[in-house]
Amino acid sequence: MLRTALLVSPLCLLLLAPSLTQAQDTRERARQAIEEAQAHAEGGRHALAAQRYLDAYELMREAGMRRAPLVLWNAGDELSHVPGREREAIDAIRRFLEESTTLADEAAQVRDWRSSAMGLLDDLEARVSPEESGQGTGPEPPASEPEEHLSPIGPVVLGAGIVVLGAGAIFGALALVDESRLSDLCGGDVCLDTEEHRSLHGEMVTFANVSDALLIGGGLVAATGLVLLFALDPDREDVAPQAFCDPSGCWAGIEGSF
């Protein structure tokens, strides 16, 4: 029996050797992951630091290391500094609190970490709750259509036409004044051919011609402005300007319901 035991013992050592080597390799990889995580954290690369801490946690679990849950606290703390990943930080910290219960019974330092983790957990949940409360409140109201403004072209053209009509009326009034003066000087239908009469008559004709031109032009401009005023009104889709010509002249108008 003794000889059998002596023969079995070396065989067991041979079987355990690969597993021990593998565990040491896993521990070494976990140590490297933690060192890289610390370097990322010191450089402010919180997302990368959190990922390496999570990698170290998995490796430590694989190697059967009891203190593996402690790394989850580091991962959660780093994730809390990454905007938009608060929920992942909460999950990591909760896992740390759940899995480190037995360790807290053994070390005061672990109890301190758990206390800090609880405080951070409350803060993260307060940050996440307002964001989640704003979700699922229904579809967003449709974007308001851009406000349509009345085009200034129509009013400007109409105003210019009215100004020209006013000038035509003034020259027409001057022509009437000259006609009245000429009638008073002549005393009847026949006037003497004098320099004064010729000058007054020429002035009257000039005023009358200018008045006619301004009244006609101003009328056309005002009509065009009126057409544009209705045609470019965003609230009136049933109005359409029309222009046409015949042997007697050209005309512009508006077709629609009023």
Question: 123 and 36, same structural domain?
Answer: yes
Cα pseudo-dihedral 64, 90, 47, 132, rounded to 10 = 150
User: Same structural domain for residues 192 and 117?
Assistant: no
Structural domains in the chain (count): 2
Quote the CA–CA distance of 240 and 237 in Å, as a whole number: 8
Q: Indicate whether 139 belongs to any domain.
A: no
Q: How many CA atoms lie within 13 A of 225 on its CB side?
A: 18
Count of alpha carbons within 13 angstroms of residue 105, beta-carbon side: 4
**Structural domain contains residue 76:** yes
pLDDT at 211: 81
Q: What is the pLDDT along the chain (258 residues), one digit of tens a residue?
A: 333 333 333 333 333 345 567 778 888 998 999 999 999 999 999 999 999 999 999 998 888 888 888 889 899 899 999 998 989 999 998 998 888 887 766 677 777 778 888 888 888 888 887 655 445 444 554 555 555 566 677 677 778 878 877 887 887 788 787 677 766 666 656 666 677 767 767 887 897 888 888 888 877 877 786 677 666 665 555 555 554 445 555 555 555 554
Asked if the structure places residue 64 within a domain, the reply is yes
| HSE (side-chain half, CA atoms, 13 Å) at 231 | 18
Q: Which residues pair with 244 in a beta bridge?
A: 251
- Name the residue type at position 35: E
What pLDDT is attached to residue 43? 93
In a domain, 37, yes or no: yes
Q: Which domain holds residue 176?
A: 153-255
Helices vs. strands in the chain: H and E counts, helices first: 8, 2
**R_g (Cα) of the chain, nearest Å:** 49
94, 129, 164 — which closes off a domain?
A: 129
121 plus 180 within the same structural domain? no
Residue type for position 195:
E
| 97: CATH | 1.25.40.10
By DSSP bridging, strand 240-246 and strand 249-255 are antiparallel
Is 15 a domain residue? no
Residues 224, 187 share a domain:
yes
Residue 1 in any domain: the answer is no
* 24 and 123 co-located in one domain: yes
Indicate if 124 and 172 belong to the same structural domain.
Answer: no
Whether 123 and 41 share a structural domain: yes
pLDDT at position 50:
92
Residue 245, classed as helix, strand or coil, is: strand
Taking CA atoms, 142 is separated from 49, 131, 137, 146, in Å, by: 42, 21, 14, 12
Are 107 and 168 within one domain? no
Domain membership flag for residue 47: yes
User: 33 with 52: CB under 8 angstroms?
Assistant: yes
124 and 27 within one domain: yes
Residue 9 inside a domain? The answer is no
pLDDT of residue 148: 56
The verdict on 175 and 122 lying in the same domain is: no
Dist CA 115 CA 214 (whole Å)? 92
Identity of residue 233: D
Residue that is last in its domain, among 114, 129, 144: 129
Residues 169 and 247 in one domain: yes
| 167 and 246 belong to one structural domain | yes
Q: Which residues contact 61 (CB under 8 A, 6 or more apart)?
A: 68
User: In 43-107, which residue ranges form alpha helices assigned H by DSSP?
Assistant: 46-62, 70-79, 86-99, 101-104
